[in-house]
Amino acid sequence: MSMLEEGRERGRRAGSQVEGMIEKMQTEFVRTRELYPTIGDMDLAAAIREYDRERLACEPDYGVFPEMKGLLDRHVGEREGFREASGLDETATAYQFSWGFFLSRRLTANHLARYDLVTPWRQCTNVFFPEGEDGVTISNNRDDTARPVYAETIPNFRKDPVPAGDQVHWRQGGVSSAVLLDEEPECCFPCDPIELVPDECLGDIHEIVKFMTRYREFYGPGNQMWCDRSLNAVAVEKTNCRVAFRWPTVNGAVCITACSYLDPELNAFKKERTRRAMAIKGEAEENSVDWHFFRGADRRHRRLIELTNAEAKRGATLWGAFNVVADTAVPFPDRICVAGEKAFPEREPNANWTLTQYASVITGPNRRTLYRSIRDFENLRSITTFTPYLVLGEGVEMKPEWQRDIDRGLCELAPPLDSEK
């Protein structure tokens, strides 16, 4: 099959799942005008069409990126197939394939994002223990404003079943992170480095790092965790064009949290850009929402590393991993689990809540998950007041010690997903 036809097939699959896309696109356009007030009367529909054309015309240096050879035909085919299957126009097609890159690379690099006026930054976390007591063990939080829209989607958080086998994907989590007024890459050609990583790289974390460093301008921003087939892991801090790595120090464990770069160079770069944003807004450190939030995110990040390493040293149990992301032992902003706090109460319009959290053993005969979510959006309270559910992996039978946890009221056996309230 030619690359052009492969692209058409991919585009047709995407184009068959566009219900509500036009409404979503229009909502995004409205939100973008609020988030980037200096874009003025920019015609976003025309801008995204032009940017998508620009990306297709921005031929990469194949000497540096030989894996991209032939991809132009596939990208052209994807757009043809998408339009054919969806019946949508060029604007919707460009939105489908280039909107995220347009926001992070073109708008964020040239216009100040006013998160202080629109919504708080999310504070999600991910933790990875390759040497857990029962097998590879992971945990995470997902945080956001407690908007009514979550009343239907969050209570039934158990969207992904406990893995059925022992395969561990090389990407083990990702959270949001970005820099105000970030850099714009020289090349904007559409490329997903994740699909281009050669299979032979996946056996050596250092080869993964080498490959993804070469492609650093084509993915992110955000913080991630990667591991190779031997479960050697690394934490990744990523801006638009820069990347840094934090290697594990205790039993291979790594963790990440949102909106924080602890690498010295990335941290200095973020502070420089934040100060530039403060100057534009006429702010100083003491009255900047952005500055207060980023400082708090860094403190939370350091505490997460401390808790993760302590649990890794003990042996990383399922409950231990769960308690890392459920941490409320110290005041905000250092605490991992949040319950309506604001980084800058005097000026921040919305508060952050931990809406979901879970821990899972994802390999071996003891595969299982502990999870909980906020279930009442009318009378909000901390997620830690809800009893966690226990979900057993496929083919895994209840063990006496797990049943004792249920009998003691520490957790409940999860009801069928379609009946959960």
Q: What is the CATH number of the domain that holds 250?
A: 3.60.60
What's the pLDDT at 319?
98
Same domain, 240 and 323: yes
For residue 341, name the pLDDT band (cuts at 50, 70, 90): confident
Indicate the pLDDT class of residue 417, thresholds 50, 70 and 90: low
Domain that holds residue 153: 117-182+221-419
The single-letter code of the amino acid at 276 is R
Angle in degrees, CA 363, 231, 221, rounded to 5: 105
Which of 32-46, 113-127, 160-174, 248-262 is predicted with the least confidence, judged by mean pLDDT?
Answer: 160-174
Q: Of 101, 119, 92, which is closest to residue 24 (Cα–Cα)? A: 92
Cβ partners under 8 Å of residue 232, min gap 6: 130, 204, 205, 252
- Structure-block tokens of residue 72: 């132009």
Neighbours of 363 (CB within 10 A): 20
Whole-angstrom Cα distance, residue 7 to residue 76? 7
> Per the domain annotation, does 190 fall within a domain?
no
Same domain, 301 and 395: yes
pLDDT of residue 81: 97
DSSP class of residue 18 equals -
> What distance in Å separates the CA atoms of residue 204 and residue 349, rounded to the nearest whole number?
45
Strands (E), 70-200: 125-129, 137-144, 171-175
**Statement: residue 58 has pLDDT above 50:** yes
Residue 163 has pLDDT above 70, yes or no: no
Beta strand spans in 53-208 (E): 125-129, 137-144, 171-175
Residues 241, 106, single domain; the answer is no
Find all residues with CB under 8 Å of 286, minimum gap 6, and list them: none
Question: 159 exposed, middle or buried (CB, 10 Å; 0-12, 13-18, 19+)?
Answer: exposed
Asked if residue 64 is part of any domain, the answer here is yes
Tokens at residue 43, please?
A: 């015609």
pLDDT at position 264:
98
**CA dist., res. 223 & res. 189, Å (int):** 22
What does the pLDDT average to over 4-24? 95
With bands split at pLDDT 50, 70 and 90, how would you rate the model's confidence at 70? Answer: very high
pLDDT tens digits, 83-108: 999 999 999 999 999 999 999 999 99
Give domain status of residue 371, yes or no.
yes
> Which of 50, 85, 111 is the last residue before a domain boundary?
111
The average confidence (pLDDT) of the chain is 91
Q: Please give the pLDDT value at position 350.
A: 73
190: helix, strand or coil: coil
How would residue 148 be classed by pLDDT, with cut points 50, 70 and 90?
low
pLDDT at 416: 64
Nearest to 344 by CA among 276, 285, 302: 285
Residue 381 falls in which region: left (phi positive, over 0), alpha (psi -120 to 50) or beta = beta
Judge whether 154 and 199 are in contact, CB under 8 Å: no
Domain edge (last residue) among 111, 142, 159:
111
* Distances from the Cα of 163 to the Cα of 136, 141, 158, 160, 267, angstroms: 11, 19, 12, 8, 36
pLDDT score of 245 more than 90 = yes
Has residue 249 been placed in a domain?
Answer: yes
Give the model confidence (pLDDT) of 296-331 as tens digits.
999 999 999 999 999 999 999 999 999 999 999 999
- Counted residue by residue, the chain has a size of 421
Residue 375, pLDDT above cutoff 60: yes
Peptide bond into 333 cis (omega under 30): yes
Residues of the chain above pLDDT 90, percent: 81
**CA 211/CA 341 separation, integer angstroms:** 39
Full-model pTM: 0.93
The answer to whether residues 138 and 286 belong to one domain is yes
Give pLDDT, residue 115.
85
CA dist., res. 302 & res. 397, Å (int):
37
d(CA 334, CA 303): 6
Number of structural domains found in the chain: 2
